[in-house]
Structure 1
Amino acid sequence: MKTDDADRAQNDISRRSFLKNTAGTVAISLAGGYADASIFHADSIPIFPMAAEKSLIGAYGPWAASLLPSLPTHSFRQAKWKDVAGWHQGALEKTQELVSAPPKPALPKVTVKKKYTYDGLEIEELSWQLPYGRPTEAVLLKPAGATKPLPGILGLHDHAGMKYFGLRKIVKTSEDQHPILVEHQKTDYGGKAWANEIAKLGYVVLVHDTYAFGSRRVYYEDTKGLNWGAVSTEGKSDADPEKPENIQAYNAWSSEHEHVMSKSLFSAGTTWPGVFLTEDQVALDILASRKDVDAKRLGCGGLSGGGLRTVYLAGLDPRIKCAVCVGFMTTWKDLILNKSFNHTWMTYTPLLPKYLDFPEILGLRVPLPTLVLNNNQDELYTLSEMKDADAILKDVFKKAGVSDKYKASFYDGPHKFDADMQQEAFEWFKKWL
Structure 2
Amino acid sequence: MIGSYGPWAKSLNLEKLPSHSFRNSEITDLDAWRDATRKLVAERMGAVDLGSIPKVVVHQTGSFEGVVFEEITYQLPSGNPTKAVILKPENAKGKLPAILGLHCHGGNKFLGLDKICKTKADIPSYVQNHHNTYYEGRAWANEAAKQGYVVMVHDAFAFGSRRVLVEDVPVPIRQGITDFSLDTEEQIETYNSWASEHEHILAKSLFCAGTSWPAVFLAEDQMALSILAAREDVDSSKLGCAGLSGGGLRTVMLGGLDPRISCAVAVGFMTTWVDLLLYKSYTHTWMTYVPILPQELDFPEILGLRAPLPTLVLNDIEDQLFTLSEMEKADEILTEVYAKANASDKYKCTFYPGPHKFDKAMQEEAFAWFDRWLKG
TM class by shorter-chain length? over 0.9
Is 1:115 the counterpart of 2:61 in the alignment? yes
Match of 1:269 in 2: 210
Larger Rg: 1
Superposed structure 1 runs of 4+ greater than 2 Å apart: 225-234
Q: Could you tell me whether the CA contact under 8 Å between 2:272 and 2:327 is conserved in 1?
A: yes
Letter in 2 for 1:63: W
Matched, 1:149 2:149: no
1:366–1:397 CA contact under 8 A, matched in 2: yes
Map 1:274-285; keep pairs closer than 5 Å: 274-285=215-226
Q: Assess, with a 3 A threshold, how the Cα gap between structure 1 residues 271 and 377 changes in structure 2: closer, same or farther.
A: same
Which residue among 53, 77, 85 is the counterpart of 1:139?
85
CA offset digits 1:110-133 (Å, max 9, x no partner): 000000111111110000000000
CA RMSD of aligned residues (A): 1.0
Q: For residue 292 of structure 1, report the CA deviation from its aligned partner.
A: 0.4
- Provide Cα deviations, 1:21-77, integer angstroms capped at 9, x if missing partner: xxxxxxxxxxxxxxxxxxxxxxxxxxxxxxxxxxx2111111111112410010000
Question: Is 2:336 the partner of 1:395?
Answer: yes
Q: Deviations over 1:283-327 (max 9, x none)?
A: 000000000000000000000000000000010001000000000
Is 1:187 aligned to 2:133, yes or no? Answer: yes
Q: Give the equivalent residue in structure 2 for 1:67.
A: 12
TM-score by length of structure 2 reads 0.98
5+ long unaligned stretches in structure 2: none
Question: Are 1:377 and 1:413, in contact at CA under 8 Å, matched by a contact in 2?
Answer: yes
Q: CA deviation at 1:225?
A: 4.9
Matched, 1:326 2:267: yes
Say whether the 8 Å CA contact 1:156–1:208 is kept in structure 2. Answer: yes
Identity %: 57
Q: Offset at 1:250?
A: 0.4
Checking the alignment, whether the CA contact within 8 Å between 1:273 and 1:349 is kept in structure 2 is: yes
Cα shift at 1:90: 1.7
Question: Pick from 149, 163, 168: which aligns with 1:222?
Answer: 168
Q: Distance in 1 between matches of 2:5 and 2:247?
A: 31
**8 A contact 2:237–2:260 mirrored in 1:** yes
What whole-Å deviation, never above 9, does each CA across 1:352-386 have from its counterpart, x for those lacking one?
A: 00100000000000010000000000000000000
Task: Give 1:425 deviation, angstroms.
Answer: 0.4
Amino acid at match of 1:104: L
Q: Which residue of 1 aligns with 2:229?
A: 288
AA at the equivalent of 1:148 = G
Does residue 128 of the first structure (1) align with residue 69 of the second (2)? no
Query: What aligned pairs does 1:193-232 form with structure 2 within 5 A after superposition?
Result: 193-227=139-173, 229-231=175-177
- Choose from 259, 276, 295 the match for 1:354: 295
Shift of 1:229: 2.7
Q: Which amino acid aligns with 2:34?
A: H
Query: In the comparison of the two structures, how many residue pairs are matched?
Result: 373
Amino acid at match of 1:411: Y
State the 1:228 CA deviation.
Answer: 5.0
Q: Is the 8 A contact 1:187 1:416 kept in 2?
A: yes
Q: Which moved more, 1:109-118 or 1:61-70?
A: 61-70
Q: Which moved more, 1:64-73 or 1:301-310?
A: 64-73
Distance 1:227 1:88 in 2: 42
Query: 1:414 aligned to 2:361?
Result: no
**C-alpha contact (below 8 Å) 2:84/2:155 kept by paired residues:** yes
1:369 pairs with 2:310: yes
Partner residue of 1:97? Answer: 43
Q: Deviations over 1:175-224 (max 9, x none)?
A: 11111111111110011000000000100000000110000001111111
Q: 2:300 and 2:288 mapped to 1: Cα distance?
A: 12
CA distance in 2, matches of 1:65, 1:217: 34
Does the CA contact (< 8 Å) of 1:371 and 1:425 recur in 2?
A: yes
Contact 1:220 1:230 in 2 (8 A): no
